[in-house]
Structure 1
Amino acid sequence: MASGSAIRGSRVGAGPMGEAERGDAAPRRRVSYWCANRHETRPSFALDAQIPESWDCPRCGLPASRDADNPPPPPKNEPYKTHLAYVKERRTDEEAEQILQEALQQLRERVARGEIIL
């Protein structure tokens, strides 16, 4: 049998419910944003708040703008680049060949001096 002093349907620290007890909500305005997938998002902002130019679509995650006819394009995903790909961007094949020959020459000299045993 439950205790007779329990307050049912409430939680500890809960106050009275309703606008009258909490005060009036701040005046707000809803702003529409559209993404490239034509999803419309309508977040609300306080009247005196600065409205952002873009907003992330909660349905697909793409950026959205306030222009329904010209939404921002989806961001381009750059593929993962290896270290070799970055090196090839900085060096020509001729430069790479020259660096390789210099490294081989230094290695041969160290082998000739006995610093390295192959």
Structure 2
Amino acid sequence: MAERTLRGARLGGQSFEDERGIEFAARQQVGYRCPRGHEFEITMSTEAEIPAVWECPKCGDEAESTAGIEREVKVEKPVRTHWDMLLERRSEKELEDILKERLELLRGGEIGPAHLHRANAKKRKVS
């Protein structure tokens, strides 16, 4: 049984490699300050694009860069309502004409819910 025992290092254990001959990537310290006054630094590669905002590790608020990097301002499209989109396809005069036509058909019983047609048909027979 003892011969089958697995041997090895534990998880998160020590590395058995030597650091001689290893060249680390160039790094830089980037400073941030949150609205609550917490200041901290993040180590990043010199090749990395530095973000203007980073989450504060103490309070979770958005911290801004102390290096003067500004946020990108996104251009927001104005909100388009259903009415705006409808007016792109038809004029108000056309819409009024369509509404009149549909109301006449609805009142005449040619379109609309079936229960309304039955009620109108009974009234016509009685008259």
Q: Using structure 1 for the length normalisation, give the TM-score.
A: 0.47
Larger radius of gyration: 2
Q: Using structure 2 for the length normalisation, give the TM-score.
A: 0.44
